[in-house]
Chain A
Amino acid sequence: MSNRYLKEKGIESLLFASGAVAVVALLLLCLFLFKEGALLFENYPVSDFLTDRRWLPTSTNPQFGLLPLLFGSLIVTVGSILFSVPLGIAAAIYISEIANPRVANFLKPFTELLAGIPSVVYGFFGLVIVVPMIQDTLQLPTGQTALTGSIMLGIMALPTIISISEDAISSVPRSIKEGSLALGSTKWQTIYKVTVPAALSGISAAVMLGIGRAIGETMTVMMVTGNSAIIPGFPSGLFESVRTMTATIALEMGEVPQQSDHFHALFAVGSVLFITTLILNIVASYIKRRYRFSL
């Protein structure tokens, strides 16, 4: 009897330990990130970091301005959302409500395949095909712009948004769709007045995950956005070259001498990235809870 008890407790502890490892690892990562980032502020004022308008890490008078990088990330992310959310939700509605079952059974796994394509492949495709296309169609000085980054990130976020939104829409119970039809509404009215609003918490989760993916993307944006550290306006900034926080870290990480100010500055940028993602996740949870008029 006691043997069985020990075994049970042993397994419980093991499972607990596994969970604990994940949490502890995350916590330590966090601490390391913030500690190295904070070391920047021994030699460089926080206020300057937050307000300087230029990122010049290797000049004789280095400037570590966060703003161009932060806004670069933001504008590319916002652009990608504007592009992928309507498209993704429309595709999800098509797959779950309108397509006939054989088409749907093909489309859904196919979009999930898209999610598996490595980001560097997307970057390459963006560089070779999309950049010249944007440059020629919009007559811009260069095709390497925030817009290009938004389009590529939008495409990358699509599978996530479609897949999760489709799950949410399919889980809307048949009974309320029938209820709507029984009142004399058309299929379309049912979809946009009842089904989609009912699936809103799942759809919001999908959008949040899409945003999370976009903001953290590195390789692709590095290859297509031109990496100019300017502060973009909106919407004019979409047609200019921008630099994201992620690309900055990737571009400069290799060459920083350990423990230099530049080194710490990159960690500070990494911390901001981490905090941004954290805020996004919190907002996502809040939205999910609020829209739980749900089922």
Chain B
Amino acid sequence: MKKHFLRNIAICSIVLLILMSAFAGVGCVDQGEDTEDSGTTEDATGEETVSGEIGITGSTTVLPYSTLAAEEFMIQYPDTVISVKGGGSGVGIAAMIDSTTDIAQASRQIKDSEIEEANNNGVEPLEHAIAWDGIAVVVHPKNTVSELTFDQLRGIFNGSITSWADVGGEDIEITVIGRDSASGTYEYFKEEVLGEEEFTENALSLSDNGLVKEGVVGNERAIGYIGYAYLDENVKAVALDAGNGLVEATPENIKSGDYPLARQLYYYTNGEPTGLTKVYMDFVLSDAGQEIVTESGYFPIK
């Protein structure tokens, strides 16, 4: 009898131990990682070495720029690592709120609710506009439609217009291709074009600009919206009339602000950038960094 008793105690204590360590683990869920960040250090000879690691997360619209800028930066400063990830503006901002990224790249402005969220977590988002972008509304090159008013655009994307015939094309069903709700491009487009309304539930939700473009390339009935940098000769950008006449999506129109879907692209940091983050931000806003903006298909902020 005593043996059984002792054995049961042993088993219960082991199980209890497992349970307790599991609960302890659960409690640790909300810890963010600290990202490494060194910046410039002076070594024995007095020369400055820039070193360390930072991460940039968020918008797939800004992604092509960040990738190019990061590469250029790492060539200039070989002891640094800049890792760049997509996921959508929402993902980037959430990562900044959770302190798991140094820079959040976004193709829309941070929302008030997100600012509040950040403050609650001890994070003070600081906005840096780094480039101008235009949202190109694209269709298949074979599509006869090349112009749309904002009303027509709204109608197509909220589902009230379903046939190309209603906007001057052939009588074929329109396939609406869009982004998912984590995307800054999605949010921006929704706010500018749909206002308070929702996207049609039949719209495809794809996870990045590239997929939207490919979707339109492969489908003669499709219409989609992409960042200007993703525009190429395989798709056709539609001219838009927001009440001031038809404006095409060209660099001049975007820089001058005439194009109705021109917007800024942003980097957000937690307060004033320091260390390696500061070195990188300075680079981005320098002439060299802004040249890369043009290289990647967007428009310098100055």
Contacts and interface: CB of A to CB of B under 8 A. Distances in A.
Interface stretch (A9-17, A171-179, A274-282): A9-17
13 contacts: A13-B7, A24-B22, A54-B201, A141-B221, A142-B175, A143-B218, A144-B215, A227-B204, A227-B205, A230-B202, A241-B202, A251-B207, A260-B117
Interface residues of A, number: 41
A46 interface: no
Interface string A239-278: 0110100000001101111101000000000000000000
Task: Indicate the member of A57, A222, A254 with the most B CB atoms within 10 Å.
Answer: A254
Contacts of A230: 201-202
Nearest to B22: A28
A251 B91 contact: no
B253 to A, nearest CB: 29
A138 to B, nearest CB: 13
A197 interface: no
Contact of B15 (A9, A20, A222, A228): A20
A141 B175 CA distance: 6
A98 interface: no
A82 interface: no
Contacts of A241: 202, 204
A90 interface: no
Contact of A17 (B7, B15, B113): B15
Closest 10 CB pairs of A and B: A255-B90, A254-B91, A227-B205, A255-B182, A226-B204, A141-B175, A58-B181, A255-B91, A251-B180, A257-B117
B87 A255 contact: yes
Contact of A132 (B88, B90, B218): B218
Interface in A8-41: 9, 13, 16-17, 20-21, 24-25, 28, 32
A228 B201 CA distance: 6
Contacts of A228: 201-205
A141 B88 CA distance: 26
Task: Indicate the member of A60, A243, A258 with the most B CB atoms within 10 Å.
Answer: A258
Contacts of A283: none
Given A9-B7, A241-B202, A254-B91, A17 B182 contact: no
Contact of A229 (B30, B91, B175, B201): B201
Interface stretch (B62-70, B93-101, B144-152, B254-262): B93-101
Nearest to B218: A132
A10 B38 CA distance: 50
Interface in B1-41: 7, 10-11, 14-15, 18-19, 22-23, 26, 30
B114 interface: yes
Tier of interface size on chain B? 35 or more
A135 interface: yes
A20 B180 contact: no
Given A17-B14, A230-B201, A255 B93 contact: yes
B234 interface: no
Contacts of A258: 30, 97-98
Contacts of A100: none
Contact of B87 (A56, A143, A243, A254): A254
A256 B93 CA distance: 9
B18 A58 contact: no
Contacts of A56: 198
Nearest to A251: B180
Interface in B224-251: none
Nearest to B205: A227
Contacts of B206: 226-227
Nearest to A229: B201
B139 to A, nearest CB: 13
A251 B198 contact: no
Interface string A209-228: 00000000000001000111
B205 A251 contact: yes
A43 interface: no
Given A141-B222, A143-B218, A241-B204, 6 more contacts: A16-B11, A135-B218, A141-B221, A228-B202, A258-B97, A258-B98
